[in-house]
Chains A and B, each alone.
Chain A
Amino acid sequence: MLLFILKRLAQSFLVMAVVSAISFSLFNFVGDPVNNMVGQDATREQRVEIREKLGLNDPILTQYARFVGNALQGDFGLSYRIRRPVDDLIMERLPATIELVFVSAIIALVFGIGLGVYTGIKRNSWISRAVLSISLVGVSLPTFIIGISLIYLFAVILRWLPSSGRGGTVDLGWWTTSLLTVDGWRSILLPAITLSLFQMTLILRLVRAEMLEVMRTDYIKFARARGLSDRSIHFVHALRNTLVPVITVIGLNIGALIAFSVITETVFQWPGTGLMFIQAVNFVDVPIMAAYLVFVALLFVFINLIVDILYFVVDPRIRLGG
C-alpha cells in the first residue's frame, strides 16, 4: 500500500510540472497586463519600463523558471491588479469555495444516491419517471441559466433568499465560515444547489444504472431466496456493489465542482477562488492565474490519490491484485 501511494505521488509531481508549464505558456496569449495596470495617460515609455520591471519581456521559459523558483519558496508574488500577495488572496478566498463545494457535494451525494437507489428499485413508479425527466434539466441546462433562473425565482419574485454574496460570515481566526449563521445558510443555498445540479443528475443516473444491473445478478436473487429483508438487500448488498464506479466519478467530479464553481461564483458573486480567477483572467493578472492553476492541479492530484486509496477500502479485489 505504501509503495502504491509513493508511486502515485511520483506520478503526481510529473503531472503538476507539466500542467504548470503548459498553463504558464498559455499566459502569453491572454494579453498585456500593463495596459490594465496604468491609466490611459501613461506614456509608451512608462509602459515599456513597467514591462521591463515585471520581467514580461523575458523569454517565457525564463519567466516560468522564475515562477517555479519563487513558488517552491512559497512566494507567488503580488497580484498585478490589487497589489496584494497572491497566497494571502487565495487563502482568504479558499474557505468560501471549499464550503460551497462541500455543501453542493453533500446535496449531490445525498439526493443523487438516494434518488438513484429509489429509481433503480421502483423503476416504474411515476415518481421515478418524474425524477428522471426533471433530472434531464440538470444535465442539459448550462449552470449560468440555472443560476440566473434560481435568482429570479427565489430572490426577485419570492424574495426568500439573497441574490448574491456570502452573508453572515463568522471569522474563526483561521477560517471564515458561513455555515454557522442562518444568514450564511440562506446565501449559500442557491449557489450550492446550482453547482450541485449537474453532479446530482450524474450520480443519480449512474447509481440507477448500476442498481438495475446489480438487482439482476444471481446473488441478489439468492439473497431474496434466503429471505433477507428488502432494506438489507438494497442498501447492504446491492448499493455496496454499485459504489466502485460511483466513487471514481464522484472523486473526479469534486474536482469538476471546483472547476464549475468558476461560473457559479461569478453568477452569485460568491467571493471564492473561482470568481477571483475570472477577474484575474479579465485583467491578465498573471501571478493569480499561475497560482490558481497550480492550486487546482494540486487539488486534482490529491483527490485522485484519495480515490485510489478508497478503492482499496471498498473493493477487496484491488487489494489482492495490488
Chain B
Amino acid sequence: MSVHTTACPRNCYSTCAMRVTVEGGRITAIDPHEGNLATAEGPCLKGLSYLERQTSPERILHPLRRTPSGTFERVGWDEALDLIARHVDAARREHGPQSLFYYTGSGTKGLLNACGLAFWRQFGGCTTTYGDLCWPAGLEATRLTFGDNRQSAPWDIARARLIIMWGKNASETNLHQMRFVHQALECGAKLVVIDPRRTPTADRAHLLLQPRPGTDGALALGLAHLLIEDGQVDEAFIREHVLGYEAFAALVKAWTPVRTAQVCGLPESQILELADLMGEVTPMSICAGFGMQRYTNGGQTMRAIQALLPLTGNLGKPGAGWIYANLATQIFGHLKDPLDFYPPEQPDGVVRVSVSTARLGADMLAQQDPPLKVGWVERGNPAAQNPETPTVRAALRALDFLVVVDERLTDTAREAHLVLPSKSLFEQTDVIGAYWHAYLQIRPKVVEPPGEVRPETEIYRALGERLGFSSDQLAQCLPEPGAAGVEAWLEARLAPHGLSLDQLREGPVLAPGAEEIAFADLRFSTPSGKVELLSEEAADRWGVDTLPTFTPPLESQAAGGGQYPLQLLTPNTKNSIHSQFLPLQVIRQLMPGPSLEMSPEDAHLRGLKEGDLVRVFNGRGSLELPLRIHFGLRPGVVAAFNGFGAEDGGSVNLLSLGRETDLGFGAGFHDNLVDVERV
C-alpha cells in the first residue's frame, strides 16, 4: 500500500489537494490533504467519486473506430495511428496544414497539455480557436479596471464583514469557499447573495436579491448612485487611486433607485438596504461568479460591479476586494489569461487562430483557404458544452476525419471517426495550477493506465514517428518517452522558479508571487496606475463605452423579450463539472437525471404540474425535461443544469446561440430566451 499527494485537475475553483491510496495497483481510497489550506478538509463528492471513475465500465480502454452503421469497433493502436497518419498527411498535402483543426477544452489541467499545440506546430501548423467558454469577459473587465487578475488568498474572506456573492453559488461550485464564508458568518459578518435563483448559498444569506437576468450591471450602477448620493464613498481612496470618478458619478446620476428597481425587477427597498450595507459595513468582499459575464453585456456588467469596491475603499486590505480569478499560478507561459487566448496581433503563419470558441460551429464551417478537413479534439466535449449544439454537430460532421481523445464516449466522441482513450489523472505525472487559490500541485502517476490507454504525449510521439518527424522535431514538442522523460520535462519547467517535483510530492506549494492580500500596495498595472472606472482601452480594443454603461443583453427580458417569455439559466450542479462525472453510478444515485426548474407562478400560468414532462423550446431547438417547481425561483426564469447530453435527452445548448461577449472573446450564450409547454 502506498499513499500519494495528488490534486484534482478539473476545471473547478477548488482544485483540491488529495491523498490517494494505492493497493495492488488499484486506487482504494481518496482522502483530504491538509497541505492545501484552501481545501484542507478534503475534496467534494466528485473528488471522492474518482474511485469509481478510475475503473468505470464507461471508460474507453482502447482505440475505437466508427463503423458505417454508427457503432464503434475496437481497433489496434497500429491501425488507429496509420489511419490518422493517412488522413492528416493527405489533408496537409492537399489543403495545407491549416486544414487540420485542433480543439481543446478545459477537461483536465496540466502543463503537458501544451504538447498538443507544440506537436501540430511541428506538423506544419493547424487552425485553432481563440476566446474561451468560461470567464474571459470577467477577466478582461478585471484587467481593464485593476490592471491584473489578482485576488487575496481564499481564506481572507473569513475576515470580511460584508460578503457579496454576486451571481455565484459557491455552495455548489466552490464549496470550499463556503468554509471561509461560514467562518466570517460565525464572527458576525453579513452575507448578501445576488442571484435569480434561491440557491443553497442564498439560504445562508441575510439578504437575497433576485434581479432580472443580465441586469446586474444596472443594479451595480444603482448601488453606486445611492453610495454617492448618500456620501457613503471613500473620498480619500478615490482621490488617490481612482481614474474617472467624476465621469462615473455623472453616469450613475441617472440610475435612481426607481429606475434601477424597474430595470432589475427588484423592490426598491432591497436596493436601498444593500446600498446601506455597502456604505456602512467594511471590509467588504465581492465574489463574482462566471454566469453573469456570459451574457452579451457581461464585460460591462463586471466593470460596473467592480466599481463598487474602489468607491467604498474596499481594496488592498484584509477582508476586502474583488474575488473572481487568481492567476498567480500562471507562471509557466509568457502571457497570462485573458491575453493568452486572444488571437495574436501578428499571426505567425503557422498556427491560424481564427475560430471563435463562442461561435465554434459557424466559424469552423466558415473557414476558407484552407477549409477545415481533419479535426482533433482533446479534453473537451463541444457537441454538448459549446453554444449551438446543432451547428457544432454540423461542423464536426463536415470534416473528412475527426479524432476525439476522451475517457468515455461523450456526445463529441460519438461524432468521431476514431476515438482514442485518454489517461486519467492517476496515470501520468503532471503539474497543475489553480484559479481560486495559488497552489501549484503535482498530480503524479500512481497506477498504470488500464487496457491499452496511452497518455496523449505518447499518442503524439507514435503519430509523429509515422509522419516522419525527426527526433529533433519530437524533442521540440514532447517529453522523452516514459515516466522518466515526463518527469525530466516537468523538472525543466519548474526549475526556473526554484521548484521541483520532490517538493510538490511533499504537498501543494504556493506559487512564487502568491499574495495574501491582493493589491496591498495599492498599485494597479493599468495604463494610469489607478483603478480605472474610465478605460480608454475598453473603448479602443472592444468598442464599448469607456465607462461601465449598462445595455441589456441582446436576447433578454431586459431588452424587451420578444417571442419567448422565459430566460433560461443553465447553471452548474455540485454533482458534475460540465459533462464530466454525470454517468457515474455514485453520482446518478444522488441525481438521476436532468430537470427544468420553474417558479410556481409560471407553472400555474401554463397549467403545469410537478413532474410533468415539458418541452423547453425556442426558434433554435427544443429539449424535453421533467418539471420541478421551486418557490424561490424568480418568475420569468427557468433553470436547467448544464452537463447532460444526448443520452439524457440532449444538451441545454440545443437552445443557445453562439455569439461573443462584449469583452474578452467570451461566449455570450446565457442570452437565451425560451418558452415551455407540456409535452
Does A pair with B? no
B residues engaging A (CB < 8 A)? none
